[in-house]
Structure 1
Amino acid sequence: LGEISWHQPATKGEPPSPRSGHTLTVAGDRIVLFGGCGITGDGQPSVMNETWLLSTQEPMKWELADVMGDVPSPRWRHSATLLPDKTSVLVFGGLCKGKRFNDTHVFSSDKNEWNIKESAGTPPHPRSHHTASLVHFEAEDELSMPKDKVFVIGGYGGPGTCRDFYMDVHILELDTWSWTKVGDMRGTVPKPRSDHCVCVSGHKLILSGGRGWSHSKTETGFFNDTHCLDVKTMEWTTPPGYNPDDEKPVWWPSLPTTLWNHMAIAIESVPSDKLF
């Protein structure tokens, strides 16, 4: 991977106001920022539904997008997933002033347009602090077609006034725009949680950390565990510990500390992907 270093690029234009719980999604040569909770221009706290664009071409420049269509209501702690066309961003869920959402919107970055996506099936319960990951499936045979699916995992929310941590798995089939809840999961399912992180590595989803119930539903705990979901077999596994006697030992330690609201990304590498 070469040298790993951080730097802060110079940008032009007025940047977004300070905020948290927003999303940043790379779509083509622009980065799409949506929503968040923070301070508005007049200094007041607010939940937002602004769409900001940052050009990745030199010079990098911020602009508040003049958008069309059905803009999502103000929210934060939602998810934003880049779709296969590489220019559209799928926004699902989130919360605003205690209300959770389970609606689905798509932003077309090449048109600066928002659209509500009506879907078949039963969507996940309203939630926030979840993850939504795009997975590509190759055609199984000459008669079938490749498919793309979005996997929504976990989060915090519930119908009506109910509130709980989840570790359910819902699939949005992008070819039919239909929701399916995965019923019988194989393996050891992780504890219900929110604020976790999920990375895509081939046909596996790697989940780490998060926040959930500790010993009872009155005490919140935090996690430093790592789990892996094979989306072909729908089986959860806990990666193996280090065994020096193995011919090619694999060590998947626990996170160095409990982590939540963190970010991670799987990067292709040799001999195996690396998780940062």
Structure 2
Amino acid sequence: MDEFGVYAVFGVNSPPQRLLCADGSSKVAVAVPPTVRQVVLFSSGPWGERICVNAELDDADRIPITIGKLTPYNKCLSWEQWEEETWMDSVTLIVTVEGGNLGKLDCSEPELILAVKEYTPKDTVAPLSARELNIKRKREQIVEEDCDEKKVAKRRDQENVFPSVTEKTTPLRKVRGQNKGGQKLFSNEGDGTKTKGAGETQGIVGRTPPQSAVRMKSKQAKTPTQSVTLVSPSGRWGQTLCPIDAQTAILIGGQGSRMQFCKDPMWKLCTEDMSWVAAETMAEGPTPEARIGHTAVYDPDSRRIFVFGGSKNKKWFNDVHILDTQSWKWTMVEAQGKVPPLAYHSCSMFRGELFVLGGVFPRPNPEPDGCSDSLYIFDPHLSIWYQPIVTGESPSPRSGHSACVMQERKIYVFGGWDTPVCYNDMYMLDLGLMEFSAVKTNGKAPSPRSWHGSAVLSDTQFLIHGGYNGNNALSDTFIFDIDTNSWTEVTHPQLSIPRAGHSIITMETASRYRFSEEGEDADVDAGSVSRTLLVFGGGDNEGNFYSDLTTVAVEELLRDI
């Protein structure tokens, strides 16, 4: 296969079928039989100037299910039907190539309509029906879970493992953006996998949000109120929300129900009216592969977003993707130097460089995965990774911690997780001296936690909200003052829902109210601008995933301190 081609495998027994070739059409539609439950798409041969290959499923009602994109860096993807999902009688796979020269470049309509060549292996029994396959899968799942429990019981004290999926049917009160679910987001039991920080093994499960475009076999999916076109992100956790200017933030990645990676991975938030715009197709170039536990940091000087690391199932990343917010084009960095694949690390921008601390990294089998206590720096100008010489008392290995850059000279690191221990300690890295020191704090400190949200409120104060303590998702909020090294707990009704793996940022937004010295709301002052705390997404360990966007005036949080 010396020439470029795109191939598909339909089902577990079918051979690969070529869909696109170097001198053929740039777009093809394939009719997929309802008996096919898995689709694997991959490319072969040199990409040349081709940018990406888009893959999308359409059912009879023309409801799109985006599988993802192939790129020169991510040359294979797959999609599998879940038991609750229903194939329509005429599902169509649409594959489109962007960039390069494929001869027929008109992508307005597919050039070819193909039918899948159904394949029956010789000397085999007939394929199982849908019901038989479901029963077989459930039996296999029970056997696997039983084996996993025995393995976990044997290794629980020997390995660092993350929580597994457990059942709990107790419903919670309904809030905007919340969906009822019957399975836990986290539990304090290991799942037998050799991961210590991969979000996938935490068992984040629940129901797909009502606005999801995925067709589900349920009454809720067929109600007239369900939106076919997404107008806001689906519920998720493990994503990033990155401000790029006073009115705009970019949402990237995340994972939702049934440990499925979000099929709407990129959104643009406009804070003028708090509206969302799907942004995956807005940017050119190779988009990052679906992931959670990554970081996204914006450099205001170059006006670029740097996305680093993360994980997907048993795959770990140490790649750096850059989104130029002026040209709206993705590029992937071929960096020099070594940095391990990391997830649930922290990443801070200082003087144009990325400071990556901690996180989870994979170890070769049979060793379990471990947490890092190392500091890595990425220099975008030279495209190189290096490890600085750091003195002082460094934080112990951890993941799921937070890091806040204060006064452009200090990074404050709080909390995190290193199975089976959660932390609530504080460390400070002096960026001038490159020296770590443990911070002795005053006041009531937050309880140990990881996967919490953090945000800088002022030159001297930052906020910690929610998180996971090894058993439950948390809903409390604390503010730390670096001048006095003191913690203050604050209570706000909009920050009262337990959640972990959520995103918190602060932005300049139009002020709705002006507060008097007595703390009471005064006249509406629509022309003023104030700092606002924005909270998006996360999960609550009860099977619920959030897609709500909560806004709280920073002035309102600070006035009682």
Asked if TM exceeds 0.5, the reply is yes
Take 1:132 and 1:110, find their aligned partners in 2: how far apart are those partners? Answer: 23
Which protein has the bigger strand share? 1
Q: Following the alignment from structure 1 to structure 2, what is the Cα–Cα distance between the partners of residues 198 and 109? A: 24
User: What SS is found at the alignment partner of 1:129?
Assistant: coil
Equivalent positions of 1:91-240 (< 5 A) are: 91-122=307-338, 124-136=339-351, 148-158=352-362, 160-161=364-365, 163-183=369-389, 185-201=390-406, 202-213=408-419, 220-240=420-440
The answer to whether structure 1 residue 33 and structure 2 residue 251 are counterparts is yes
SS at match of 2:424: strand
Is 1:255 the equivalent of 2:255? no
Could you tell me how far apart the structure 2 residues matched to 1:222 and 1:17 are? 29
Q: Which residue of 1 aligns with 2:236?
A: 19
Cα distance in 2 between the residues matched to 1:36 and 1:155: 17
Q: 1:45 to 1:225 in 2, by over 3 A?
A: closer
Q: Equivalents in 1 of 2:379, 2:445: separation in Å?
A: 32
Question: Residue 188 of structure 1 aligns to which amino acid in structure 2?
Answer: E
User: Could you tell me which residue of structure 2 aligns to residue 58 of structure 1?
Assistant: 273
Code of the residue aligned with 2:231 in structure 1: it is E
Deviations 1:198-250 (A, max 9, x none): 0001211100000014xxxxxx1100100101122221111235xxxxxxxxx
Q: Secondary structure at the match of 2:358?
A: strand
What is the rounded CA distance, in whole Å, between the counterparts of 1:169 and 1:36 in structure 2?
25
Deviation at 1:155, TM superposition (A): 0.2
Q: Write the letter of the residue equivalent to 1:16.
A: P
- TM-superposed CA distance for 1:109, in Å, is 2.8
Separation (CA, whole Å) in 1 of partners of 2:436 and 2:271 = 37
Classify the secondary structure of the residue corresponding to 1:128: coil
1:46 paired residue number: 260
CA drift of 1:120 comes to 2.1
Structure with higher helix content: 2
* Aligned-pair CA distance for 1:259: 1.8
Aligned AA (1:21) = G
Please say if residues 27 and 86 of structure 1, whose CA atoms lie closer than 8 Å, have aligned partners that are also in contact.
Answer: no
CA distance in 2, matches of 1:59, 1:211: 33
Could you tell me which amino acid in structure 1 is paired with residue 425 of structure 2? Answer: D
Task: Give 2:313's aligned amino acid.
Answer: K
Cα gap change, 1:236/1:117 in structure 2, threshold over 3 Å: closer, same or farther? same
Maintained 8 Å contact 1:212/1:221: yes
Q: Secondary structure of 2:451's partner?
A: coil
Whether the 8 Å CA contact 1:226–1:254 is kept in 2: the answer is no
Contact 1:23–1:80 under 8 Å retained in 2: yes
- Describe the shift of the 1:254–1:239 C-alpha distance in structure 2 as closer, same or farther (beyond 3 A): farther
Opposite residue 38 of structure 1, the aligned amino acid is: G
Letter in 2 for 1:100: W
Q: For the structure 1 residues 176 and 107, does the alpha-carbon distance in structure 2 shift closer, same or farther, using more than 3 Å as the test?
A: same
Q: Is the 8 A contact 1:80 1:89 kept in 2?
A: yes
Post-superposition offset of 1:110: 3.2
Deviation of 1:174 after TM superposition, in Å, equals 2.7
Give the superposition deviation at 1:254: 6.9
Shift of 1:191: 1.0
Confirm or deny: 8 A CA contact 1:52 1:63 kept in the other structure. Answer: yes
Q: 1:96 to 1:235 in 2, by over 3 A?
A: same
Query: Residues 37 and 76 of structure 1 are in contact (CA less than 8 Å); yes or no, is this contact kept in structure 2?
Result: yes
**Which stretches in structure 2 are left out of the alignment for 5+ residues?**
1-175, 177-229, 464-561
Shift in Å at residue 79 of structure 1?
0.6
* Alpha-carbon separation, structure 2, partners of 1:129 and 1:179: 18
For residues 235 and 180 of structure 1, what CA distance do their matches in structure 2 show?
A: 17
* Identical positions, percent: 26
Aligned-residue offset at 1:159: 5.2
What letter is aligned with 2:391?
Answer: R
CA RMSD of aligned residues (A): 2.3
Question: Which amino acid in 1 is paired with 2:372?
Answer: Y
Would the alpha carbon gap of residues 26 and 86 (structure 1) be closer, same or farther in structure 2, given more than 3 Å must change? farther
Provide the rounded CA distance (Å) in 2 between the counterparts of 1:17 and 1:47. 11
8 Å CA contact 1:168–1:182 kept in 2: the answer is no
1:78, 1:92 within 8 Å by CA — same for their partners in 2? yes
Q: Matches of 2:428 and 2:330 in 1, distance apart?
A: 33
Alpha-carbon distance, 1:63 to partner:
2.5
